[in-house]
């Protein structure tokens, strides 16, 4: 059977990378950043995001073909694709997967996201706020908010402490494994 699939989405500086890293390090999931997959596409137009070449305006069918090939690469129990920015694409990916799949949306208050970026990047709060606002606009976060709310299997408000966040991630994995067991049984 194909591995379970976790699709991580959310606002910038909310904890998506921390979640992907946690699943990979603590649960031996195969973690892939979506921009790695986008760089392999031929459709759409070349673009650069945060210094990484990728594609924008690509054919969703080509993306799904690339994702389906991941099922055949190795034997991880869980595959994590990090940083979905398009709700329709996340939903199509979940629906096309042949094993249990979950969309996990992670968010945090604007103030917490600014504080995280300020601390992590060593920039001023004003610079951090401007960077976050630019990223959220590029990701069309506000525009897709209600769609993410209706599609997400798990919604994590990451404004608490780290142990609480990790416990929520563990709960996501438990629910995915429960789905997997029901499919096998």
Dihedral Cα 159, 163, 168, 174, nearest 10 deg:
170
Q: Is residue 163 part of a domain?
A: yes
How many domains, in total, are found in the chain? 1
Domain that holds residue 96: 4-29+78-184
Long-range contacts of 67-71 (CB under 8 A, 24+ apart): 67/37, 67/93, 67/96, 67/97, 68/96, 70/30, 70/32, 71/2, 71/3, 71/97, 71/98, 71/99
In a domain, 85, yes or no: yes
47 occurs within a structural domain? no
Indicate the SS3 state at residue 51. coil
Tens of pLDDT, residue by residue over 45-72, are 888 877 778 777 888 889 888 888 887 6
The CATH code of the domain that includes 135 is 3.40.50.300
| pLDDT 10s digits, 116-165 | 999 999 999 999 999 999 999 988 888 999 999 999 999 999 999 999 99
- The answer to whether position 158 is within a domain reads yes
């Amino acid at each position: 059977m194909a591995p379970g699939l976790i699709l991580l989405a959310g606002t910038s500086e909310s904890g998506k990378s921390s979640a992907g890293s946690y699943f990979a390090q603590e649960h031996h999931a195969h973690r892939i950043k979506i921009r790695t997959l986008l760089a392999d596409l031929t459709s759409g137009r070349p673009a650069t995001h945060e210094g990484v070449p990728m594609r924008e305006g690509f054919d969703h069918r080509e993306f799904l073909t690339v994702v389906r090939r991941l099922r055949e690469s190795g034997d991880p129990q869980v595959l994590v694709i990090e940083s979905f920015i398009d709700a329709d694409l996340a939903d199509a990916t979940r629906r096309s997967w042949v094993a249990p799949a979950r969309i996990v949306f992670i968010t945090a208050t604007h103030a917490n996201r600014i504080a995280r970026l300020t601390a992590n990047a060593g920039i001023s709060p004003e610079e951090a706020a401007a960077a976050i606002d630019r990223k959220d606009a590029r990701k069309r976060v506000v525009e897709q908010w209600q769609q993410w709310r209706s599609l997400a299997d798990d919604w994590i408000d990451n404004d608490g402490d780290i142990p609480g966040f990790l416990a929520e991630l563990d709960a996501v994995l438990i629910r995915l494994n429960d789905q997997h067991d029901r499919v096998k049984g």
